[in-house]
């Protein structure tokens, strides 16, 4: 990973280069993603497994989606301290960022007999998709952090 001190001319050049590559998607790509999402909403885990096998790893099963405590322990032992330090720093940065986006429940009575509001109710569990190239052997850790942080 190349680091760019900011502010600097090198950082500005890199930012411009990144922005110039474009942030948009083609209509064809958007339609494909919309179709995948619609299918997953309709067929649930069955569709999720189908697409994961198609794009990431043909070995995925419904049972393999949930990570066990033993798997967490083994993964923790398989990485070195510098990786964990980087991961922790990234997680803290994401938590700070998302804490600024926190939504709260609210109720208001703008006039007599009228009550309006919004209830924000977090879910107790959520799945996080971590894309991984090379048959699922290279998961994008950043996707887990960003997807899990907003849960």
- Confidence check: pLDDT of 106 > 80: yes
Q: How many domains does the chain have?
A: 1
Q: Give the domain range for residue 29.
A: 25-81
What does residue 117 show for φ and ψ, rounded to 5 degrees? Answer: 180, -175
Which SS3 state, helix, strand or coil, does residue 124 take? coil
pLDDT reported for residue 135: 63
Separation of alpha carbons 91 and 139, rounded Å: 16
List CB contacts of 136: < 8 A, sequence separation 6 or more.
Answer: 52, 56, 57, 59, 60
pLDDT at 149: 60
Residue 23: pLDDT above 70? Answer: no
Q: What is the pLDDT of residue 150?
A: 53
In a domain, 118, yes or no: no
**pLDDT of 127 above 80:** no
Does any domain span residue 55? yes
In a domain, 38, yes or no: yes
Predicted model pTM: 0.50
- Asked if residue 151 belongs to a domain, the reply is no
């Amino acid at each position: 990973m190349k680091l760019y001190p900011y502010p600097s001319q090198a950082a500005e050049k890199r930012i411009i280069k990144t922005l110039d590559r474009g942030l948009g998607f083609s209509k064809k790509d958007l339609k494909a993603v919309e179709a995948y999402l619609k299918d997953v909403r309709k067929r649930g885990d069955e569709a999720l497994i189908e697409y994961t096998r198609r794009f990431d790893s043909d070995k995925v099963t419904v049972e393999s989606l949930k990570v066990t405590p033993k798997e967490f322990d083994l993964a923790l032992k398989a990485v070195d301290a510098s990786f964990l330090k980087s991961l922790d720093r990234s997680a803290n940065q994401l938590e700070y960022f998302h804490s600024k986006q926190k939504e709260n429940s609210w109720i208001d009575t703008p006039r007599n007999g009228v009550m309006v509001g919004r209830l924000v109710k977090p879910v107790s569990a959520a799945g996080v998709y971590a894309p991984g190239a090379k048959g699922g052997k290279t998961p994008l850790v950043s996707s887990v952090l960003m997807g899990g942080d907003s849960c």
